[in-house]
Copies of this chain bind each other. A is one copy, B any other.
Amino acid sequence: MTQPHRSSLPIPDVAIADEFWSPRRATVRAKTIPHQEDRLREGGQFAALRFEWRPDPDDDRERFPIFWESDVAKWIEAASYALASESDPKLDAAVDEAVALLAGAQQEDGYLNAYFTAIKPEGRFTDLRDAHELYCAGHLIEAGVAHFQATGKTSLLDVVRRYADLIDREFGPGGSCEGGYCGHQEIELALVKLFRATGERRYLDLSLRLIDNRGKAPFYFDEEARRRGTPGYFGGQGAVVRSDKRSREYNQSHAPVREQTEAVGHSVRAMYQYAAMADLALELGDAGLREACERLWRDLVDTKLYITGGIGADPSIEGFGPAFHLPDKDGYAETCAAIGLVFWAHRMMLLTGESTYVDVLERALYNGVLSGASADGTKYFYGNPLASDGSVERSDWFDCACCPPNLARLLTSLEEYVYVADEAGPTVNLYVAGWARFEYGGKRVLLNQESAYPWDGDVRITVEPEAALRVPLRLRLPEWTSAEPSVTVNGAAVPFAVDRGYAVVDRTWEPGDRVALSLPMHPVAVRADARVGAAHGKVALQKGPIVHCVEEVDNEAPVPHLVIGRGGEPVAEHRDGLDRITVAGLVDEPADGGLYRTGSTPVRPTEIRTVPYFAWANRGKGTMAVWVRETP
């Protein structure tokens, strides 16, 4: 086993104090987490853990309880991250209550799933494909690790270890599920976290076993269906996926993972699987898993990635369509999938040390992830389409409530994505004001970041080692940079090497040294590969990491009638906390008079105005588009 060379800093070693993320994270603490707690109490999730909940035969949402432990777990996980960066006795007590409920619901043998304990005990581990038990177990494990790391309490960690130990027995040699794996990947990456938190190697081995069982013939899901003699929990996935091939691709069990070459199927399942593969490749130095990850990454990034960092264009499977199938209005791009991409990209960066993965992480984070919540943090998008005919708005909640808590746990753990403790030197991946504490050569060194990112590319970093320290400081050079970046130290330009997308400033740092990184950031027009039909003859505007969109409310006509002129220079201004871009264009507005008519379409000049994509749909309904027509 090789040791990892890179790791995230622990949350308590990072502070985020900026004007972009801090208010959003405060909203998650003040509104989202309490709101989600209310939902768990009202929705039956807590009652289910007391075995007080019974299905209502008239309610066709009867199937959702099979996700309920994951709802509770993601809430505990988000709350734990929040507690890691700021104490909150009331929240701490609420988490303790939920942990006690989980501990009370755990069976003698370690099993922990209310539905398959109270309602359908004969069904335990008989429908791995659809019943989501290991998916829930994975979220419980992630919550147990987060809760332990945030509070030092082992109350939930002990519970999830006992459950993981049961799973290890059942899925081990001679166990009732030998050769099995879950239909919704999640536990694989959770077990790596559990290994890291406990040092228990068998959790890592179990994760690898689940990963390597996947997709091998004879197919486990066929075998369990034969043994069970029923089509399964969801009636055999119903209309979602009809053919064996599509059905297997849906949960990425169509081939052994090491042989998989294309991102297919349900995109959240795919992201969690690929993230676990990257984790295992890093922990085990497993070249086969690393190569598979790199192949899958290229397929996704070259052919299936929205400009917003959204993924999974096909709503019918909540997953990937064919290459270059990236429809705007009718696309999907689930919030959870973009979050999953952040998870995977982060692990790929840890595995390879290459900043290109952070470029994609940043694209997803500032665009397709953030669009998932309203400005006030109380409404959510499940899908994040790149255009709207005016009918789209965020919802309060969902029966299948995966996205809101996923967003909460990402934002409360954002610390993990900003810096990397790399053997090669302290590394800044995201430009987020605040500080971070590293240790190199036995000496502590503090970095204090200031910037108005993502609105401005000037970043100032004060380096504060305990004592003079020679270590290369690694600063990510984002792909979007529109001209050559520059670095000064204490006001003087310094040369720097570029290594795998990072500016490397290698010198002996004295306390108080001031580094200034200047990333030229101007609005630019972006065009898509010719094979992306939805972007044909269209252009998107972007400034820095922020992808913009055009909303009807800011413009003189519904968005489909706007045409961006060629050669006009887009200009950005900052107003009410957001960048706006203005560019010269035309309005075409065919007069009415019958469905079809001859005669030309009148056009008149206009100014086309944008807002950041993540901020759309906060001012009522209206047409919207990221890809806007352009004068050929």
**CB neighbours of A93 from chain B (8 A):** none
A576 at the binding interface (Cβ < 8 Å): no
The proximity string for A residues 592-605 relative to B, scoring 1 for CB distances below 8 Å and 0 otherwise, is: 10111111110100
Name which residue of chain B comes closest to A327, CB basis: B330
A window 498-540: CB within 8 A of B: 524-530, 532-533, 536-537, 540
Q: Are B595 and A529 in contact, CB atoms less than 8 angstroms apart?
A: yes
Given contacts A524-B598, A586-B632, A631-B632, contact A592 B529 (CB under 8 A): yes
Contact between A530 and B596, CB atoms less than 8 A apart? no
Smallest beta-carbon distance A38→chain B, Å = 32
Contact B527 A596 (CB under 8 A): yes
Q: Which residue of B lies closest to A589 (CB)?
A: B530
- A331 interfacial contact with B, CB 8 Å: no
Among the listed B303, B482, B632, which residue makes an inter-chain contact with A603, where contact means beta carbons less than 8 Å apart? B632
- Report if A301 contacts B (CB, 8 A): yes
Whether A1 is near chain B, meaning CB under 8 Å from some CB there, is no
Chain A 617-632 interface mask (CB, 8 Å, partner B; 1/0):
0000000000001111
Q: Tell whether A433 is near chain B: CB-to-CB under 8 Å.
A: no
Alpha-carbon separation in the docked complex, A529 to B592 (Å)? 6
Q: Which residues of chain B have C-beta atoms less than 8 A from A597's C-beta? A: 526-527
A60 to chain B, nearest CB (A): 12
Secondary structure of the A side of the interface? Answer: mixed
Q: Is the CB of B588 within 8 A of A537?
A: yes
Bound complex: CA of A588 vs CA of B594, how far in Å?
Answer: 31
Taking a contact as CB atoms closer than 8 A, the residue among B526, B586, B596, B603 that contacts A596 in the complex is B526
Which residue among A302, A482, A532, A601 has the maximum number of chain B CB atoms within 10 Å of its CB?
A601
Closest Cβ–Cβ distance, residue A202 to chain B (whole Å): 41
For the complex, give the distance between the alpha carbons of A301 and B595 in Å: 8
Residues of B within 8 A of A293 (CB): none
Q: In the complex, how many angstroms separate the beta carbon of A594 from the nearest chain B beta carbon?
A: 7
Q: Which residues of the partner chain B approach A305 to less than 8 Å between Cβ atoms?
A: 595
Binary flags per residue of A196-233, CB closer than 8 Å to B gives 1, else 0: 00000000000000000000000000000000000000
Q: Interface 1/0s, chain A 520-564, versus B by CB < 8 A?
A: 000011111110110011001000000000000000000011010
Q: Which of B307, B533, B560, B596 contacts A528 (CB 8 A)?
A: B596
Does B532 contact A560, Cβ atoms closer than 8 Å? no
Which one of B307, B532, B590 contacts A527 once the chains associate, using CB atoms below 8 Å?
B590
* A563 near B389: Cβ-Cβ < 8 Å: no
Query: Chain B nearest CB: distance from A619 CB in Å?
Result: 23
Which B residues lie within 8 Å of A525 (CB)? 598, 600
Evaluate contact between B527 and A599: CB separation under 8 angstroms: yes
Q: Which B-chain residue is minimally distant from A586 (CB atoms)? A: B632
Contacts of A631 on B, CB cut-off 8 Å? 631-632
A527 and B632 contact, CB distance less than 8 A: no
A530 and B590 contact, Cβ closer than 8 Å, known pairs A239-B239, A537-B563: yes
Counting chain B CB atoms within 10 Å of each CB, which of A527, A595, A597, A603 scores highest? A595
- Contacting B at CB under 8 A, from A572-619, are 586, 588-590, 592, 594-601, 603
The residue of chain B having its C-beta at the shortest distance from the C-beta of A567 within the complex is: B600
Measured between alpha carbons, how far is A389 from B327 in the docked complex, in Å?
Answer: 14
**Chain B nearest Cβ from A470, distance in angstroms:** 37
Q: Which residues of B contact A598 (CB under 8 A)?
A: 482, 524-527
A50 an interface residue at 8 Å Cβ cutoff? no
CB neighbours (8 Å) of A54 from chain B are none
Cα distance A526–B594 in the bound complex, in angstroms:
11
User: How near does chain B come to A538, taking the closest CB pair, in angstroms?
Assistant: 10
CA distance A592 to B531 in the complex (A): 9
A603 CA to B601 CA in the complex, in Å?
Answer: 22
Residues of chain B within 8 A of A303, CB atoms compared: 595
**A526: B residues at CB distance < 8 A:** 596-598
The answer to whether B528 and A600 have CB atoms under 8 Å apart is no
Given A560-B536, A629-B632; A302-B595 close (CB under 8 Å): yes
A590 to chain B, nearest CB (A): 5
Q: Provide a sorted-by-A list of 19 A–B residue pairs whose CB atoms are within 8 angstroms.
A: A301-B595, A302-B594, A303-B595, A389-B533, A526-B598, A527-B598, A527-B600, A529-B590, A529-B592, A529-B594, A529-B596, A532-B595, A536-B561, A540-B596, A563-B632, A566-B600, A588-B632, A603-B632, A629-B632
With A527-B597, A631-B632 known, 16 other A-B pairs at CB within 8 A are A239-B239, A307-B596, A524-B598, A525-B598, A526-B596, A527-B590, A527-B599, A529-B592, A529-B596, A530-B589, A532-B595, A533-B560, A537-B563, A537-B588, A537-B629, A603-B632
